[in-house]
Amino acid sequence: MARLTLVSAALLGVVYCQNGTGSITDLPSYMTHINATRNDSSPVVLHIDTKDASKRNATAPYLYGLMHEDISHSGDGGIYAELLANRAFQGSNWNTTLLPNYNGSLIGPSENPVEPIAPVLTAWAAIGNGTRITLDRLHPLSSAIPTGIEIDFPENAEGEVGFQNFGWWGMNVEPQTYNVSFYVQGNYPRNQENTTAFTVSLRSNLTGEVFASSTVSNVSVSFIDHTFVTTTLHPNATAPNSNNTFVITFDGDTVKGQTYYFSLFSLMPETFMGTPNGLRKDIAQAFYDMNPTFLRFPGGNNLEGVSPQQRWKWWETLGPLTDRPGRAGDWGYYNTQGLGLLEYLQWTEDMNIERLLAVYAGFSLDVWGQSGASYPPDRMQEILQEALDEIEFCQGNITSKWGSVRASLGHPEPFDIKFVEIGNEDWFSNTYPYRWEYLYNGLKAAYPNITYISTAYNEASTSFGYNISIPSGELWDTHHYEEPSFFVRGFDFYDNWQERTNNTGVEIFLGEYSALQIDTPTGIVDFSFPADVHIMYPRLVSALSEGVYLLGMERNPNVCKLSAYAPSLQDFNWYNWTPDMIGFDADPSHTVLSASYWLQLLLGSYRGTQTLPVTNSEGDFNPLFWVATLDEDKNCIYLKVINILGDSVPLSANIPEAYRSVNGTILTAADLNSYNYIYNQTEVVPKPLNISTSAPTGYGDDAVFKWDVPRWSITVLQFDL
């Protein structure tokens, strides 16, 4: 029902202002309780069956993973480590606008009045009196990178002259190696027989302090081709803040009256695992610490394009940066595609996780018409071939056409693909039935060992009115941007789901979810994100309610196989969508791990290998929710308990097993609305549970663990056997 509203939200490219400093009094909307909570704090008595192995189920090994698409500058300016904004003058932002008397959204100009997204000088500025920088298309570096800048020094230039880049709202400077590169060409009449010295530096934008500098001398700049210049920078100290710039300067005396054409700059800090052209260290580390098991990429809406031409063309994301044209991303800004297919694959390898590759399914959102643009049936072969080639690129033998391209790019070993998602949220269209069938049949025939994921299922209730028949063993990707009570009520949704819905063998991927707004009387989610109900940063109530739903999934490992929160990242300076799992800006000390992040880290770090049957002789689910698993490798039992009531609830857990010790980790906070923010990053963080004050009674063959479960808390108890 809220789905069609989502189209407009997804395409509005809205940039919201940042709010508050983490104080709950700043919140425009405040929750005092979760509507779906049963107000009953009477004791709960559980019996965990550790004896009857026939009643156990294997847990879902890939339940907790990651979703990444370039949204809210999560890619360019985010996890992609490149520090220069608009490094190749490809474009910056575009807007969507609603015009009177026109149907739907239209792409409007943002920084360029002629084309909505086009080369701009955003993030660059000249240094020195009379120094001029302009866009230049007369000296293209390559067909993919046709635009550079021309820099003209006046005849009377003196002192320090040059230009600078302000980064993605600043840049982090600390003691490490920064790799610098750029391309430069001279102007023959104005530079003849000159060699040039380029000084590159990292400086404070506030004080001008130079943190690191390097001069590349005697460069003989060609007039015919671009000369590739590289150097490194090594700051000795950490800059006091991230308001820093990257600067290229010259001695005015030596360049007066001269002109140069520059193209494709890069300033790369050290990356996660040292991978070239890789990931920003602190953000990648935060993902890694969650113990994820897979990565879904590259979208999301950003897979689909705002037109078929602007879809994520994987083959245009490969190879040298000089060959990557980039594209107008779906989320209102230009994507450089520096984070391309091979970089995504490398990301999964660096984190040792599975790949969930989303392939284009012949549907683009297309802001011009709300129902999007679909490939017709007689052109689906092209789209199938595109997907087949993409999979071949990932995992094909090096003798195959695309496998050999991968090998030529330095990775002869195949990246096995375990999951392929066919499209994204295709319930926005009425064409998925034929597109799914065509692509599924074609892909399954070629790659029978891959598990395929449908993005639509039972759309009978929408205006399109269709059902997708998902074959046994394949998955349905369902997305939930909802209210807290939705997740609480959904705790038992997957109990007997296959039988209830007649979907024998169909499995579930919760591909995107978050508590998007507080509980409202209607329960209808408003995707225009109104401030009086919208949840901007994940709160304790988000973690509690999302956690209840995830426990419901853990209880049903035969059905629920994968899940990932979305969106995963948000630049605090420029974003389309909130809430997000992790927020950041240029300063790594500002990276905020949200309540929802900690929830997933907790649940994902203590998975267990087998579910254990739990019966209750007193009390029922709600306000307490629980799941028990056995970890055969670590020889322990995990009991995950969530209390969504504003009072503590007495819990007894009977374990017919002698356990050696018990410890636990708890995620709670002072208030349902507590959240983490730049200036208050630890309001909601997991803490070790002080079990000594609540020691188990009855050690021995039949141990009883007694504990008052604190109000509004998520706890993982670990009983070592």
| Closest CB 299 distance from ligand AHR, rounded Å | 6
Q: Cis (ω within 30 of 0) for the bond into 148?
A: no
Query: Does 577 sit near ligand AHR (CB under 6 A)?
Result: yes
Output the DSSP codes for 458-505.
B-TTSSS--B--PPTT-EEEEEEEE-HHHHHHGGGTTTTHHHHHT-TT
Least spacing, CB of residue 432 vs ligand AHR, in Å:
14
CB atoms closer than 10 angstroms to residue 700: 10
Q: Which is nearer to ligand AHR, 425 or 483 (CB)?
A: 425
Burial of 567 (0-12, 13-18, 19+ CB in 10 A): buried
Does residue number 567 form part of the binding site for ligand AHR (CB under 6 A)? yes
- In the chain, the amino acid numbered 376 is P
User: Does the protein bind ligand AHR through residue 10 (CB under 6 A)?
Assistant: yes
CB 118, CB 91: distance < 8 Å: yes
**Residue 546 contacts ligand AHR per CB under 6 A:** no
User: Which run of H or of E encompasses 204?
Assistant: strand 195-204
Backbone dihedral angles phi then psi of residue 408, each to the nearest 5 degrees = -65, -20
Q: Which is nearer to ligand AHR, 6 or 24 (CB)?
A: 6
Residues near ligand AHR (CB under 6 A), total: 13
Residues 6 or more apart whose Cβ sits within 8 Å of residue 54: none
Radius of gyration, alpha carbons of the chain: 27
Following DSSP, what letter does each residue of 594-642 receive, concatenated? -HHHHHHHHHHH---SEEE-EEEEE--BTTEEEEEEEETTTTEEEEEEE
Site residues (CB under 6 A) for ligand AHR, limited to 61-80: 69, 71
Contact string 651-670 vs ligand AHR (x = CB under 6 A):
--------------------
Cβ-based nearer residue to ligand AHR, 512 or 671: 512
Contact residue for ligand AHR among 512, 519, 571, 671 (CB under 6 A): 512
**At closest approach, how far in Å is the CB of 331 from ligand AHR?**
8
> Quick check: 358 binds ligand AHR (CB under 6 A)?
no
Closest distance to ligand AHR from the beta carbon of 338 (Å): 20
Q: How far apart are CA 379 and CA 14, in angstroms?
A: 34
Site for ligand AHR in 217-236 (CB under 6 A): none
* Shortest distance, position 576 Cβ to ligand AHR, whole Å: 8
Q: How far is the CB of 9 from ligand AHR (least distance, A)?
A: 8
Pick 566 or 599: Cβ nearer ligand AHR? 566
User: How much of the chain is in helix, strand and coil states, percent to nearest 5?
Assistant: 20, 30, 50
- CA-CA distance, 168 to 161, in Å (whole number)? 23
Which of 2, 4, 5, 6 binds ligand AHR (CB under 6 A)? It is 6
Q: Residue 71 or residue 510: which is nearer to ligand AHR going by CB?
A: 71
Interacting stretch for ligand AHR, rule CB under 6 A, among 90-98, 266-274, 294-302, 348-356?
294-302
Amino acid at 658: A
Site string for ligand AHR, 252-291 (x = CB under 6 A): ----------------------------------------
- 359 by Cβ neighbours in 10 Å (0-12 / 13-18 / 19+) ranks as buried
Q: Are strands 582-584 and 569-571 parallel, antiparallel or unpaired?
A: parallel
Pair of tokens at residue 233: 């920078």
Q: Which of 13, 78, 146, 300 binds ligand AHR (CB under 6 A)?
A: 300
Q: How far is the CB of 477 from ligand AHR (least distance, A)?
A: 9
In the block, tokens 């140069």 appear at: 260
Of 3 and 711, the one with the shorter C-beta distance to ligand AHR is: 3
- Rounded to a whole number of angstroms, the minimum distance from the CB of residue 301 to ligand AHR is 4
The one among 353, 510, 566, 627 contacting ligand AHR by CB under 6 A: 566
**Minimum CB distance to ligand AHR smaller for 288 or for 577:** 577
Angle between helices 540-554 and 595-605 (to 10 degrees): 30
Amino acid at 383: I
Select the span of 230-238, 265-273, 296-304, 593-601 touching ligand AHR (CB under 6 A): 296-304
Q: Are 659 and 720 in contact (CB under 8 A)?
A: yes
Q: Taking the complex as a whole, how short is the minimal distance between the CB of residue 479 and ligand AHR, in angstroms?
A: 6
Element (H, E) at 191: helix 188-191
Please, which residue, 16 or 30, has the CB nearer to ligand AHR?
A: 16
Minimum CB separation of residue 60 from ligand AHR in Å reads: 22
Q: How does DSSP classify residue 386?
A: H
- Least gap, CB of 304 to ligand AHR (angstroms): 9
Compute the Cα dihedral for 117, 122, 123, 127 and give only its sign: positive
Q: Pick the closer one to ligand AHR by CB: 246 or 427.
A: 427
Residue 152 interacts with ligand AHR (CB under 6 A)? no
Residue 667: its H or E element: strand 661-668
Structure tokens at 354: 């599975």
Q: Which is nearer to ligand AHR, 47 or 68 (CB)?
A: 68
Q: Which stretch binds ligand AHR (CB under 6 A): 297-305, 483-491, 534-542, 642-650?
A: 297-305
Part in contact with ligand AHR (CB under 6 A); list of ranges 211-219, 299-307, 612-620, 677-685:
299-307
Q: Which stretch binds ligand AHR (CB under 6 A): 43-51, 113-121, 298-306, 440-448?
A: 298-306
Separation between Cα atoms, residue 719 and residue 721, nearest integer Å: 6
- What's at 697, amino acid-wise? T
- Does position 367 interact with ligand AHR (CB under 6 A)? The reply is no
* Beta strands 178-186; 475-482: pairing state: unpaired
> Is residue 354 a contact point for ligand AHR (CB under 6 A)?
no
Out of 136, 343, 425, 483, the only residue in the binding site for ligand AHR (CB under 6 A) is 425
Distance CA 132, CA 150 (A): 8
Position of minimal CB gap to ligand AHR: 300
Please say which residue, 512 or 631, places its beta carbon nearer to ligand AHR.
512
**Cα–Cα–Cα angle for 646, 510, 524, nearest 5°?**
60
DSSP 37-70: -------EEEEE--S-GGG-EE--TT-B-EE--S
Closer residue to ligand AHR in complex, CB, 152/330: 330
Residues 6 or more apart whose CB falls under 8 angstroms from that of 544 comprise 34, 484, 642, 644, 672, 712, 714
Cβ within 8 Å of residue 139, ≥6 positions away:
148, 150, 185, 226, 261, 263
**Is 198 one of the binding residues for ligand AHR (CB under 6 A)?**
no
Which one of residues 424, 563, 629, 713 is an interface residue with ligand AHR (CB under 6 A)?
Answer: 424
Provide the residue type at 354 as one letter.
E
Binding mask 392-421 for ligand AHR (x = CB under 6 A): ------------------------------
The smaller minimum CB distance to ligand AHR, of residues 126 and 283, is found at: 283
The pair of three-digit structure tokens given for residue 32, joined into one six-digit string: 């005092």
> How far apart are CB 300 and ligand AHR at their closest, in Å?
3
Stretch near ligand AHR under the rule CB under 6 A, chosen from 54-62, 150-158, 295-303, 320-328: 295-303
6 vs 121, which CB is nearer to ligand AHR?
6
Strands 703-709 and 624-631: unpaired
Report which secondary-structure segment, H or E, holds 381: helix 380-395
Q: Which residues sit at the interface with ligand AHR, rule CB under 6 A?
A: 6, 10, 69, 71, 299-301, 424-425, 512, 566-567, 577
